[in-house]
């Protein structure tokens, strides 16, 4: 059995990387949404960070990145 040509292997790996990138982005969005629910429940980002044992900046950055991405997607353009 002959191995796939290198161009086909690269094409397949590029497709896999695109899928993985999309899945990481979707996961980050779901995580940020959960963090926002935590903020609503606990009253602040610092409280969520303390409850999770992570830094306040990690919570803040995740939420801000999600909000920026959401705002960029609502400027009239869609990916659908």
pLDDT, one tens digit per residue, over 2-16 is 889 999 999 999 999
Give the predicted TM-score (pTM) of the model.
0.80
Q: What is the pLDDT of residue 64?
A: 98
- Note the pLDDT of residue 33: 98
pLDDT digits (tens, 9 = 90+) for 45-77: 999 999 999 999 999 999 999 999 999 988 755
**DSSP 3-state of 1:** coil
Domain ranges, ordered by start, for the chain: 29-74
Model pLDDT, residue 76: 59
Nearest to 33 by CA among 22, 18, 48: 48
């Amino acid at each position: 059995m002959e191995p796939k040509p290198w161009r086909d292997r690269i094409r397949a790996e590029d497709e896999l990387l695109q899928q993985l990138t999309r899945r990481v982005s979707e996961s980050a969005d779901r995580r940020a949404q959960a963090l926002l629910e935590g903020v609503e429940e606990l009253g602040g980002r610092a409280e969520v960070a303390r409850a999770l044992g992570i830094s306040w900046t990690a919570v803040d950055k995740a939420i801000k990145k999600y909000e920026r991405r959401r705002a960029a997607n609502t400027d009239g353009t869609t990916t659908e």
